[in-house]
Structure 1
């Protein structure tokens, strides 16, 4: 298995995200966010079998999701300064839909009943590695497209 070191689990913000870019097999670039996932939190915490870092008697780990809302694929969750993560959910800055950090599932708002698109990562001894066979690591940070994204229509403020 090929793996590329991304960062340490400790470097992934507890209420934010770590942004990086991958190259798809067809050569296009795609942004990905790493977020912390606490299987013991209120979220459904499915699929905790991937690696993680010990957190007391619970295992805390990270998940990698493609950086877009399922309601509008041009709406980035992390616009270059970290995704908003509140109580185990990634919040879409435009519509306020909330996605579970562990499962990627959204049960509210315009993206209700959808899942974020995952990218495979593994945690080994506190280090996060990209292990998805469908993509290659390109660089830390996002794609420099010069676009700040659409304005927010959400009633939420951060």
Structure 2
């Protein structure tokens, strides 16, 4: 169990981005977003944190893998994440989309838990926390650009 941030921080900032390594050794970006637990749940995944005001999703639209958070926070309106490329809107609590190019899809969820004091923990056994923020160009790849040819 890895401590991430607090529910209060997610609500104040509007979202919280972090990087993990998945079970295949690849890096992925994950977003925490404010979630009103009273919204109807369309997803069958179990995220105990949704009732505590936050949900976690892989940081990409299901339509064309467009990132929601590109370093400036997740665009949201009325409890929905907005794909910045085509405008599909995903319910912040369930991850379900019922409009636009991504209609009928659900965002890949990430298991988190919120403690009694509002601390958010990564509890997904398939993911290893690497750092706060997105994947930087320095995270994976060569130490120099000498491999580039013109």
TM-score (norm 1): 0.79
- Conservation of the 8 A alpha-carbon contact between 1:65 and 1:116: yes
For 2:74 and 2:90, the matched residues in 1 are separated by 11
State the Cα distance separating 1:145 from its structure 2 match: 3.5
- Conservation of the 8 A alpha-carbon contact between 2:47 and 2:55: no
> Comparing both structures, which one devotes a greater share of its residues to strand?
1
Can you give the 5+ residue segments of structure 1 that lack an aligned partner in the other structure?
Answer: 53-58, 147-158
Structure 1 or 2, whichever has the larger Rg, is 2
Aligned pairs, number: 135
| 1:9–1:130 distance in 2 versus 1, CA, 3 Å | same
Q: Secondary structure at the match of 1:12?
A: helix
For 2:81 and 2:47, the matched residues in 1 are separated by 21
> Comparing both structures, which one devotes a greater share of its residues to helix?
2
RMSD of aligned Cα (Å): 2.0
Return structure 1 stretches of 4+ with deviation > 6 angstroms.
Answer: none
Can you give the 5+ residue segments of structure 2 that lack an aligned partner in the other structure?
Answer: 139-150
Which residue number corresponds to residue 136 of structure 1? 128
For 1:15 and 1:104, the matched residues in 2 are separated by 19
Match of 1:104 among 69, 75, 95: 95
Which residue number corresponds to residue 72 of structure 1? 64
Q: How does 1:33-48 map to 2 (within 5 A)?
A: 33-40=31-38, 43-45=39-41
Q: Secondary structure at the match of 1:106?
A: coil
Deviations 1:27-72 (A, max 9, x none): 11000000011022xx4245787146xxxxxx54211000000000
TM-score (norm 2): 0.83
